[in-house]
Amino acid sequence: MRLKDRVVIVTGGAKGIGRAYCLGVAAQGARVVVADVADPKGTVKDVEARGAQALGVECDVSRESDTQRLATETLARFGRIDVLVNNAALYGTLKRRPFMEIPVEEWDRVMAVNLKSLFLCARAVFPTMKTQGKGKIINIASSTFFKGVADYIHYTTSKGGVVGFTRSLARELGPHGIRVNAIAPGFTLSGDNEQNISEERKQANIDARMIRRAQVPEDLVGTLVYLASDDSDFMSGQTLLVDGGGSVH
């Protein structure tokens, strides 16, 4: 029980990898807040079925008022905020296309959901973590940033921003005892994204890895628990690539 009674907010926790994070931290004794623009009830039920406490908050993380409400509802139910996992993103449903074909509005929306949301959510939890004298913020980047991926430039660029945001915020918040780190997953079979990529591309991802198999959400949970727990207390500003050795930096 490495996260006993810790209060962990997971944005984008309704499905995909975010759902796996919710179940993973619950298994370590955490109380979980499932924050998503989609209905979070399914994940809440799954967490509760494992004997842990959970709260669902329906919210759009790109809207400041929603992120403030997320923090307020979390405090009303659990009284503290120990960990924020900035996992929500426009990803699985995002079409791959050449940069000249990406509508400007889509570029803006990707930046709002994948990047501005980190700024807003961090601002929403900061006063509480500052008062507590400790907190962990874990941002979800992507191996696409380290590789450079064609036909996905808005997504890849937003995830590069996640790495920069992580480093800068870690410098600002370190004096308050708040650690800020990131995880960069490789291509992970997570539901919606499986229709969005060709079989050849899936296989090419596997072939490029040191560990030659498909990645699944559970492959990321150990690293998330580590970054959320006291075991990583002397780490901040780092981005851990968890992609079976597909990229190195």
Ligand X SMILES: NC(=O)c1ccc[n+]([C@@H]2O[C@H](COP(=O)([O-])OP(=O)(O)OC[C@H]3O[C@@H](n4cnc5c(N)ncnc54)[C@H](O)[C@@H]3O)[C@@H](O)[C@H]2O)c1
The set of catalytic residues is 155
Strands 54-58 and 83-86: unpaired
18 contributes a contact to ligand X by CB under 6 A: yes
161 contributes a contact to ligand X by CB under 6 A: no
108-130 as b/e: b if 16+ CB within 10 A: eebbbbbbbbbbbbbebbbebbe
From 57, 183, 24, select the one nearest 125 (Cα to Cα): 57
- The C-alpha atoms of residue 219 and residue 222 are separated, in whole angstroms, by 7
From 132, 226, 119, 96, select the one nearest 168 (Cα to Cα): 119
Site for ligand X in 177-236 (CB under 6 A): 185, 187-188, 190-193
Size of the site for ligand X (CB under 6 A): 29
| Per-residue contact string for residues 54-93; x = within reach of ligand X by CB under 6 A | ------xxx------------------------xxxxxx-
| Residue indicated by tokens 């990583």 | 232
Site for ligand X in 89-128 (CB under 6 A): 89-92, 113
- The C-alpha atoms of residue 127 and residue 24 are separated, in whole angstroms, by 26
36 contributes a contact to ligand X by CB under 6 A: yes
Stretch of residues binding ligand X (CB under 6 A), selected from 34-42, 76-84, 99-107, 129-137: 34-42
CB of 66 to ligand X, least distance (A): 8
In the complex, the residues that contact ligand X under the rule CB under 6 A are 11-12, 14-18, 36-38, 60-62, 87-92, 113, 140, 142, 185, 187-188, 190-193
